[in-house]
Structures are given as structure tokens and as C-alpha cells.
Amino acid sequence: MDNDNTEHSRRQQTATERRRRELLEAAERIVLRDGPEASMNAIAAEAGITKPILYRHFGDKGGLYRALAIRHTDALLDNLRTALDGPVLRRDRVEATLDAYLIAIESQPQVYRFLMHPADHENGSESGFDVGRHSAPLLRRLGEELAKVIADRLDLGPDGEERARVWGHGIVGMMHAAGDWWMRERPCSREQLVQHLTDLLWGQLATAKDLVNGPGF
């Protein structure tokens, strides 16, 4: 009897996970179409269910946002790790890592906008949803995960863990701020942006000549 109950619970959990995955895929289709303006009504209609059923799975738009954020952050982290593990020179790995992030936001701009920017006042207030409140944990997670990758792959000395965390969060902050500005203004190609950011990380800020005070800082 206990075995039957266990098997029944396992099948229920599997069915729930499958249904949740299907709903997330429906949500992604609407987000790809509507960006931050994606509504729970539109997502429910795309999934062929009512909004209360959607709430049953995710709670509210914030819960759905978190599930989508985890899904896309996991995929991005896999791409970043692959870039950092590439069998190439270290500068090339840095370029590949920055490019992996920029490709992710360039290839799915509506998803990026949904994850990082609030919608207009009317849609953004749905169910008390505040994108900014939810995007900060996403960036923190990226920073922590990148710090682990840096610590695992570089010998940073006795204070290596602290330095890796500073570098991880600093690099993520730089990528996010620069990428956000670039997505809005497109002042240069993605390849040029990668080169400029790599130059910054590679120490050109320290070696560039100061036009006011001469060389150095």
C-alpha cells in the first residue's frame, strides 16, 4: 500500500512539473510577443486555461516572473560557464563571456525587457507586481554564480574568495549597465562593445594616459 501511495505521489509530481513547464513555455511565447506588457490574462489564454488556474501554479505575476527568471538565468549561466571554460587564451575567454551575455539579451530583447524593466504604470501595477523588486535578486544570483566560477578557475591568493565575489558582482553590474545602455542606444556593434569592455577589464583603465595629470592615477 505504501509503495502504491509513493508511486501515485511520484506520478502526480511528474505531471505537475510537466504542466508547470508547459505553462512557462506558454508564458515565454507571450513575453516574446509583448515584453513587459505581458499580462496574466494573455498568458492564461495562450495556455488554454483560466487565470485562477495560472495563479494556482505560480501565485501571482511575481511568482511567474521568478520562475521565468530562474529558467533564463540557468540557461545564461550555462553559456557563461561554457565561455569561461573555452580552450583559448584568457583574454579570448573574457571576450567570449561578455559576448555570451550580450548575445542573450540581444537575441531575446522582449524577454530581457520583461525581466529587467517595469511595464507602463497600468500594466506594471498588476497584482502589485514590481519588476525592479524582483530583478535585483536575479542580478545578485548572477554575481554569486560568476564569483564561484572565477574562484574555481583562478588562483587569487589568500583573500581569493572575497576578491572573486567582488569581481563577480562587479562584472555582472558592468555587463548589466553597459548592456542596458547599449540595447537602448546602439552606439556601436556588439563586437565593438565586447572589445571596449574587455579592454577595461584587461587593465587599460590603469595604463591609459591621464590627459590632465599625465600618466597613471
Return the percent helix, strand and coil in the chain, to nearest 5.
80, 0, 20
Query: For residue 71, how many other CB atoms are within 10 A of its CB?
Result: 16
Does residue 77 form part of some domain? yes
CA 24/CA 55 separation, integer angstroms: 12
Percent of the chain residues past pLDDT 70, beyond the cut? 82
Name the more confident of 9 and 107: 107
Which grid cell sits at 112? Answer: 530581457
Q: Structural domain of residue 149, as residue ranges?
A: 61-206
pLDDT for the residue numbered 89:
85
Minimum mean pLDDT among 45-54, 107-116, 124-133, 138-147: which range?
A: 124-133
Residue 7 lies inside a defined structural domain of this protein: no
* Assigned domain for 19 exists: no
Is the pLDDT at 182 greater than 60, yes or no? yes
The residue among 184, 67, 60 whose CA lies nearest residue 125 is 60
Residue 96 predicted with pLDDT over 80: yes
Residues 97-103, mean pLDDT to the nearest whole number: 95
- Whether 1 shows a pLDDT value over 70: the answer reads no
13/20 Cα distance (integer angstroms): 10
Whether 148 is covered by a domain: the verdict is yes
Based on the structure, what is the number of domains in the chain? 1
Q: What is the CATH number of the domain that holds 89?
A: 1.10.357.10
Q: Which of 124-128, 152-156, 187-191, 194-198 comes out lowest in average pLDDT? A: 124-128
Inside any domain, residue 51: no
Helix (H, G, I), strand (E, B) or coil at 209: strand
pLDDT higher than threshold 90 for residue 137: no
H or E stretch at 215:
strand 214-215
